[in-house]
Amino acid sequence: MPKEWFEINGYLKIGDNGLATIMSPNPEIGQNVKTSMPMIVAEELDIDWDHVIVEQAPLNTAIFTRQLAGGSESIMHGWDGLRMAGATAREMLKQAAAQQWEVPISEVTTDRGIISHKATNRTMGYGEVASLAASLPVPKEVELKSYDEFKIIGNSTRNVDGLKLVTGKPLFGIDQYQEGMLIAMIVAPPAFGLKLKSYDDAKARSMPGVKDIFTINTYESVKGKSMFDVDAFPELIVVVGNTTWEVMQAKKAIEAQWEPFEDYQENFTGFSGQNIISQNVPAGRENSEDHYKIMEAMSLKASKIARKDGDPETAFKDAAKIIERSYTAPFLSHSTMEPMNFFADVTSDKAILSGPVQTPEFMEKSAAERLGLPLHKVELNMTRQGGGFGRRLYGHFVVEAGVISQKTKSPIKLIYTREDDMTFGTYRPAYHARYRAALDKDNNLVGFHVRAGGIPESPLFANRFPAGAVDNYLAETWDVPSNITVGAFRAPRSNFIAGVEQAFLDEVAEEAGKDPIDFRLELFERAKNNPVGESNDYDPNRYAGVLELAREKSGWGRESTEGVYRGVSAYYCHNSYVANILDMVIENDQPVVKKVYAIVDCGIVVNPIAAINMVEGGTVDGIGNAMYGGLVFKDGAPIQNNFDRYRLIRHKESPKEIEVHFVDNSEHPTGLGEPPFPPVMGALANALYKATGQRHYDQPFITNKKVIG
């Protein structure tokens, strides 16, 4: 290790021996940005990756922008800034060497941490001029590398935390420990629609290790809640004690009484902090069986028009053939492997908060306001997160931890049990979509109508394919209020609408007597050459490109192996394009996914091995949720409250092989954590039909017909 470090900019510092420490600014939830983001800095710094040390950056909005894990946008939004950080440091190092050698900077070059002046055959390492470089003014303009000059970007690089992960080093929030720290747990209402009435803690207080029992109102003094302050049960009973086990036992001994709450209105500030989102929270204890009846009824009513092209009414009236289908999906639990937890040490003039949260900047502000401290007195540190994909966007548990520490006047670690985690919210909504397609006498698609909604939000993307490819197009949207808290779930809304849209398009292609890939490509040709409307949010060339590459790589259309049934799907979301070909066989009367081809266009791939991991994970996750996932409510309470009842995909049910291909281009990098998840559900549904002769309209396909008991 170096004897001395020299900070070049907020992203990096260089040691006197040439080692570089590069900060990874965004939260790490398993998407591998802690490796990929520093790779981008290192590329432009032009240093050997073996000479790089990676550290998790602190939350610092003065230096870093968008320190958030969400929307599959970490690399996309960080791309330019990360490159500039590395390139600026490289230019300053070159300037320092030029000054020391008394030569023009234009004659100085770098390569893997070595600075050279070819005319005089002199070289030096970065460490030799790091001190001088750190004192130089930041250049106003720097030259970035061209795509063909990359040495680190585009080459597979191991996870920087890999060894620590497999050897069990303390990286996660749940691993945190501090001398004198107490353990805190919550008791929440057993069902949505209820609030605390009273409780008896006499028995629990007498149990070993219990320090205190009290109630908190999580957001009692917060004036304006952000969109990430979603909170199912603001008033909670808190148990604080010495150990996790002791607190868990005491929690069970509390005798609480609950009562219904009345309807109320809640307002949130949007992502920008300006717009106000108003939400009606109805009273009552809801049931999944009722949800499906309500959604079916709503799907039959004329709804709010989100987009209308041409004259869809006439197109359907004059159609030679009309295909109409409805699709549903239940609430889903995020089921992160690491339950919600957070550490807090709050004193009269300072708060130190630490743990796994996807929105640290937002939650730091919420915590500061709730604790009555100025923002600069609150320090929020990010740990590695054992899963998220939306659940940890909503950081009520951060505020809860701070309030509990402030009340107990001691450092605490708040831990949710698995049952707490799965019954507290925040879930993927329940959805419904009704599709209609109109074909003329020549089997051309002349009309398309989608009416989609859900509880409590709609999954509709009105400007996505096949919008722009059909002359007469109508998209309608609706939603029904609920007191069940929902939020972003891996590829929000796309995680439903993609699969059902692609399953429906296959049925339309079959009715038209066309190959499903040819049918889609015909529509893309229309969108390329003569698009309908001006608000289409996809590039038909790139969209068609992943389909064509999927056809090539899978050998689609050639004589298929006997007993192998194929489904296709393609979808655009989070700025990336993914196509799937799924091969299925029937073994012992059960469907088995033999192989999935995943073709991805996400622009420049920074770290191929990590990118492949994300595509594989998203593919498995998509198949698992479509086949087995479902959360059912009875009298406001989820029936599934732990992994013994909530069905996840098992190892033996995963695809036997996943073959991943990336479109090779120099486009700006886009999302990858979420785009591989939605489309595979459509390919799965289409393969199931080929294999069994039965169409599947209600998720999950295997364990449920609408309502799971």
The tokens describing 515, both together, are 């190959």
pLDDT tens sequence across 386-415: 999 899 999 999 999 999 999 999 999 999
CA distances, 216 to each of 239, 369, 396, 404, 626 (Å): 11, 15, 12, 8, 38
Mean per-residue pLDDT, 223-246: 94
Task: Kindly state the tokens that stand for 543.
Answer: 């969209």
With a pLDDT cut of 70, the percent of the chain lying above it is 99
Domain 302-332+427-692 fold is Aldehyde Oxidoreductase; domain 4 (3.30.365)
CATH topology assigned to domain 5-155:
Aldehyde Oxidoreductase; domain 4 (3.30.365)
Asked whether 52 and 17 are in contact (CB, 8 A), the reply is no
Question: Does residue 570 contact residue 502 with C-beta atoms inside 8 Å?
Answer: yes
Domain 174-265+340-415 matches domain 302-332+427-692 at the CATH topology level:
yes
Backbone angles phi, psi at 396, to 5 degrees: -55, -30
Longest distance between any two alpha carbons in the chain, whole Å: 84
Domain boundaries, the chain: 5-155, 174-265+340-415, 302-332+427-692
Give the span between the Cα atoms of 19 and 1, in whole angstroms: 8
108, HSE (Cβ side, Cα atoms, 13 Å): 23
Kindly state the tokens that stand for 511.
């009715």
What was the pLDDT predicted at 603? 97
Q: What span, in angstroms and rounded, lies between the C-alpha atoms of 114 and 125?
A: 5
Q: How far apart are the first and last CA of the chain?
A: 59
Report yes or no: 396 and 63 within 8 Å, Cβ to Cβ: no
What tokens does 53 get? 């040390």
Q: For position 708, what pLDDT does the model report?
A: 47
Q: Convert the pLDDT of each residue in 570-618 to its tens digit.
A: 999 999 999 999 999 999 999 999 999 999 999 999 999 999 999 999 9
Collapsed DSSP state (helix, strand, coil) of residue 648 = coil
Burial of 86 (0-12, 13-18, 19+ CB in 10 A): buried
Single-letter amino acid, residue 115: I
pLDDT digits (tens, 9 = 90+) for 635-684: 999 999 999 999 999 999 999 999 999 999 999 999 999 999 999 999 99
| Apex 169 CA angle, 490 and 9, nearest 5 | 75
Find where tokens 């909005």 sit.
Answer: 61
Helix axes 396-408, 360-371, angle to 10 degrees: 30
Pairing of strands 633-634, 52-56: unpaired
Assess contact for 230 and 485: CB atoms under 8 A. yes
Judge contact between 281 and 264, C-beta under 8 A.
yes
- Within 10 angstroms of residue 252's Cβ, the number of other Cβ atoms is 12
**Which structure tokens are listed for 596?**
């999935």
DSSP symbols for 578-597:
EEEEEEEEEETTEEEEEEEE
Task: Please provide residue 74's backbone torsions phi and psi, each rounded to the nearest 5 degrees.
Answer: -60, -50
Position 559 pLDDT exceeds 70: no
Cross-strand partners of 451: 434, 476
* Whole-number Å distance between alpha carbons of 403 and 380: 14
Separation between Cα atoms, residue 285 and residue 638, nearest integer Å: 11
C-alpha distances out from residue 619 to 332, 547, 596, Å = 17, 17, 8
Higher pLDDT: 100 or 561? It is 100
Q: Is 707 strand, coil or helix?
A: coil
Alpha helix ranges (H) inside 372-493: 396-408, 418-423
Reply yes or no on whether the pLDDT at 556 is more than 60: yes
Q: Structure tokens of 172? A: 């996660």
Under CATH, to which class is 174-265+340-415 assigned?
alpha beta
Least confident interval from 223-227, 302-306, 413-417, 455-459: 223-227
Summarize pLDDT for 167-195 with one digit per residue, the tens. Answer: 999 999 999 999 999 999 999 999 999 99
pTM score: 0.95
